[in-house]
Amino acid sequence: MFKIIEKQALNKDVSKMKIYAPYVAKYINPGQFIILRVDEFGERIPLTVHDYDRSSGTIDIIYQKVGLTTMKLDEKKEGEFILDVAGPLGKKSKIDGYKKAIVVSGGVGSAICYPLAKALARGGCKVEVIAGFRNKDIIILEEEFKKIANNLEIVTDDGSNGKKALVTQPLLEKISVNPDYDLVFAVGPIPMMKAVCDVTGKFNIKTIVSMTAIMIDGTGMCGGCRLTVDGKTKFACIDGPDFDGHKVDFKEAATRSRTFADEERKSREKYCNLFKGVNL
């Protein structure tokens, strides 16, 4: 059992939890993830660790309420417990040796980008962050990024924050003027990451993407998160989740990411209808 120390709503759909998980906190590194199970009847879901404190034994997770499990997770209150937190899993991000980088995030991908940007900055890398959201009401981690980034640019699809653009626009503007970046790291929806790679590929800039594909057991045994990288089969949970974005088969990854969309929708609707009108 893992105790919820703090809980905070970041917007109407996204929440943050601080969980007491001393083993995970002791060994976790940027890029790695956990497998979480809310209760004995729950499914296993992967969540990237947003931040951690080795001294206090706590980890922070950020999740979007899009499926049955994240909805059930969000019903938990401070002081209550989560049944299982397994990790750290996956390979840590390789961040040594970079001098100038751009971190590009889309939506809740910011939760994954933050620890990476933080670690890069601590290692002496000049880090610029581009974050994209649908509108200003769902912007998260703005103040956190400001503390660690040399420059932060936030854009929205609808321009409600004053900067209407996709993340690829400021990215292209930056590297067109100064193509001397030695790393671009992108996390977000698959179409966004592909678009970022299309831009950076023209300038031959190394681009790493975090493939938050469907994961079940987190050990590579189920095969649920397999993808093709440079013509070879890889598993996001054990070979990644970081991969060379210029070698990822994004078309295949997009198809696989939608495999259980219908089942997820049905389970979410069934759960919502079951508790409709009930104060949980």
pLDDT tens figures, 210-248 = 987 667 777 777 777 889 999 999 998 899 999 999 999
The CA-based angle 147-150-151, given to 5 degrees, is 95
> Looking at residues 72-78, what average pLDDT do you find?
94
Amino acid at 55: S
Q: Write out pLDDT tens, residues 132-157.
A: 999 999 999 999 999 999 999 999 99
Count of CB atoms situated within 10 Å of the CB of 138: 17
Give the tens place of pLDDT for each residue, 152-198: 999 999 999 989 999 999 999 999 999 999 999 999 999 999 999 99
- Return the structure tokens found at 117: 């940007």
% of the chain exceeding 90 in pLDDT: 74
Which residues, 6+ apart, have CB-to-CB distance to 187 below 8 Å? 104, 105, 106, 109, 110, 112, 113, 193, 209, 210, 212
**Under 8 Å between Cβ of 78 and 9:** no
C-alpha angle with apex 34: 184 to 147, nearest 5 degrees? 45
pLDDT of residue 68: 86
Could you give the CA distance from residue 89 to residue 91 in angstroms, rounded to a whole number?
7
Query: Taking phi first (over 0 means left), then psi (-120 to 50 degrees means alpha), and beta for anything else, what does residue 49 get?
Result: beta
For residue 240, the SS3 value is: coil
Residue 92 is predicted with a pLDDT of 92
pLDDT at 148 (0 to 100):
94
- Percent of residues, the chain, with pLDDT higher than 70: 90
Tell me what pLDDT residue 221 has.
78
* Domains defined for the chain, CATH in brackets: 2-89 (2.40.30.10), 100-257 (3.40.50.80)
CA 253 distance to own-chain centroid:
16
Q: Would the pLDDT of 259 be above 60?
A: no
Q: Which of 220, 245, 272 is nearest to 68 (CA)?
A: 272
Residue 184: enclosing H or E segment and its boundaries? Answer: strand 183-187
Q: What's the confidence (pLDDT) of residue 280?
A: 44
What pLDDT, on the 0 to 100 scale, is given for residue 219? Answer: 74
pTM of the model: 0.87
What one-character DSSP code corresponds to residue 279? -
- Mean pLDDT, rounded, of the chain: 89
The mean per-residue pLDDT over the stretch 249-259 comes to: 79
Query: What contacts 152, CB < 8 A, 6 or more positions away?
Result: 128, 129, 131, 142, 145, 146
Q: Which residue has the higher pLDDT, 197 or 276?
A: 197
